[in-house]
Chains A and B, each alone.
Chain A
């Protein structure tokens, strides 16, 4: 029997899979292999209609970043926004965590690995889970 108060977890976006080893999934165009994190009506590259879910690597490299000091209300600063090139394909935007906020210590091109962290609770007690990357 499942207790009524069992804590539930939900990924903050549907391309994050949190069961088992957390990882990202993409919609891959069956015809050309182009990857998308959002729902697509047709492939932006080749125009074909068929997609399949593809598991992406949990490792990659730091393609770019910025350190945000001025943000929208309720967003804690400073934090590091980054563009990550995943090993084996896929480019994703996420926070770079546990790397500090000193630009002298953040190395472009460095190896990173996926991590997850809680990013909020709703009034029913469900925990939202986000992903970020840490220096590998």
Chain B
């Protein structure tokens, strides 16, 4: 069993829209980039895990191999909602931890185009011939818009408004400030889908999608890929000085699912499993929130980011509104959050997101983030959540030197 696992190579495509490429093109670009960054090739990989929500059932990992190298190793095709990419990383990590491989490649990719509203009931209702109760709720029709909403902007709006109902000093303006920050951060990231700053007034005045989330407070759909090469601690010792110097330690890798809570009957609870994952990750890594130099967290909507400040213990209980009001999560604040621009502006090609977050954190820890570098970053945390739910938290640390 390996005592430690390290990231020795990482890469991501610019997020955006690539109508002239296919999913395998995007995955290949990120995979070859990460292998090159690590100074290695597919021939050395002992395991391959590929995360892609929309094509996980279509042998995407094997199709990728046919473009970058077929060697007969174990391939895992991974899907776990918006935690898909992080789960792929964790799959390769587990193979290394188990001693089955010394080196592994994890790739996250998605090609969504302009998908619009996401959720199980985002399509038009059809005209019924005769009502027949069906399914586990005995429903006679799709109930989206009749019994509330299950679409993502509304679900995460309701999650944020529940936090607002319990804590003072949280409202539309605090949620909007999150998006103001992430759009501002994205102007420094050439890999972000959008790189345009908006004033708080512009964010609040944009088209309302699901109050309090305006269009500028919702992540876009898009295309992109990211990859990491993972390496066991023992193997790392045999690699060159430059690889070792740039290696980033995976100090914690945690995946949780929903424990039972009473309100599950209304909608998934995105907070409890995030709190559990964070607590386990801090324990495993032996670090606390105060030690973090940067955090990439799952801001699918501005309302989500705000509640995750508390879920990840970046602020005091009930203090998320105050935290954003005093600019705590800005890049020059107490704990920089989503200096990449976050999902809101960097983009959210679903399968790629959980790997791209690790790319971002690792790049800062290596001191290679260019204009957006957080100076002297030593410890960072990456968080994703897939509704339903799956939550992954990784803590990364710079190699001691």
Residues of A in contact with B (beta carbons under 8 Å apart)? 10-15, 26, 34-39, 44-45, 62-76, 79, 81-84, 89-95, 103, 108-109, 119-120, 122-124, 126, 128, 130-132
Q: Residue B117 contacts which of A44, A65, A70, A82 (CB distance < 8 angstroms)?
A: A70
User: Does B129 belong to the interface (CB within 8 Å)?
Assistant: yes
User: Does B67 belong to the interface (CB within 8 Å)?
Assistant: no
Query: A53: shortest Cβ distance to chain B, in Å?
Result: 13
User: Does B284 belong to the interface (CB within 8 Å)?
Assistant: no
Q: Among the interface residues B128, B139, B145, which one has the most CB atoms of the partner chain A within 10 A?
A: B145
Nearest 7 A/B pairs, CB to CB: A14-B138, A75-B145, A66-B157, A108-B165, A81-B148, A67-B211, A38-B136
Q: Residue A15 contacts which of B138, B149, B262 (CB distance < 8 angstroms)?
A: B138
Tell me whether chain B's interface is mostly helix, strand or loop, or mixed: loop
A107 to B246, CA, bound (A): 53
User: Does B326 belong to the interface (CB within 8 Å)?
Assistant: no
Let me know if A69 and B210 touch, CB within 8 A: yes
With A69-B208, A128-B140 given, can you name 6 additional A-B contacts, CB distance below 8 Å? A37-B137, A66-B161, A67-B208, A70-B209, A81-B149, A108-B165
Chain B residue contacts of A11, Cβ below 8 A: 140
- Residue ID in chain A nearest B139 by CB atoms: A13
**Given A15-B137, A83-B266, A128-B141, A68-B149 contact (CB < 8 Å):** yes
A70 to B157, CA, bound (A): 13
User: Does B115 belong to the interface (CB within 8 Å)?
Assistant: no
Let me know if A10 and B131 touch, CB within 8 A: yes
Query: B147: shortest Cβ distance to chain A, in Å?
Result: 5
Q: Residue B260 contacts which of A38, A45, A81, A109 (CB distance < 8 angstroms)?
A: A45
Chain B residue contacts of A45, Cβ below 8 A: 260
Let me know if A130 and B207 touch, CB within 8 A: no
Query: B11: shortest Cβ distance to chain A, in Å?
Result: 35
A68 to B154, CA, bound (A): 7
Let me know if B262 and A91 touch, CB within 8 A: yes
A73 to B124, CA, bound (A): 5
Q: Among the interface residues A14, A90, A93, which one has the most CB atoms of the partner chain B within 10 A?
A: A93
**Given A44-B264, A130-B143, A130-B146, A122-B133 contact (CB < 8 Å):** no
Let me know if B161 and A64 touch, CB within 8 A: yes
Interface 1/0 per residue, B150-188 and A, CB below 8 Å: 110110011101101100000010000000000000000
Q: Residue A63 contacts which of B133, B150, B162, B209 (CB distance < 8 angstroms)?
A: B162
Let me know if B140 and A10 touch, CB within 8 A: yes
User: Does B263 belong to the interface (CB within 8 Å)?
Assistant: yes
Q: Residue B133 contacts which of A14, A64, A74 (CB distance < 8 angstroms)?
A: A14
A10 to B141, CA, bound (A): 11
Chain A residue contacts of B157, Cβ below 8 A: 66
Let me know if A94 and B148 touch, CB within 8 A: yes
A123 to B127, CA, bound (A): 9
Q: List 10 A-B contacts (CB under 8 A).
A: A12-B143, A13-B140, A63-B263, A66-B157, A66-B210, A91-B262, A103-B212, A120-B128, A126-B130, A126-B131
- Residue ID in chain A nearest B165 by CB atoms: A108
Query: B238: shortest Cβ distance to chain A, in Å?
Result: 47
**Given A13-B138, A71-B117, A108-B161, A35-B260 contact (CB < 8 Å):** no
User: Does B123 belong to the interface (CB within 8 Å)?
Assistant: yes
User: Does B144 belong to the interface (CB within 8 Å)?
Assistant: yes
Query: B172: shortest Cβ distance to chain A, in Å?
Result: 7
User: Does B288 belong to the interface (CB within 8 Å)?
Assistant: no
User: Does B237 belong to the interface (CB within 8 Å)?
Assistant: no
User: Does B40 belong to the interface (CB within 8 Å)?
Assistant: no
A68 to B122, CA, bound (A): 13
**Given A67-B210, A75-B144, A34-B260 contact (CB < 8 Å):** yes
**Given A12-B140, A13-B137, A70-B207, A81-B154 contact (CB < 8 Å):** yes
Let me know if B145 and A94 touch, CB within 8 A: no
A73 to B128, CA, bound (A): 16
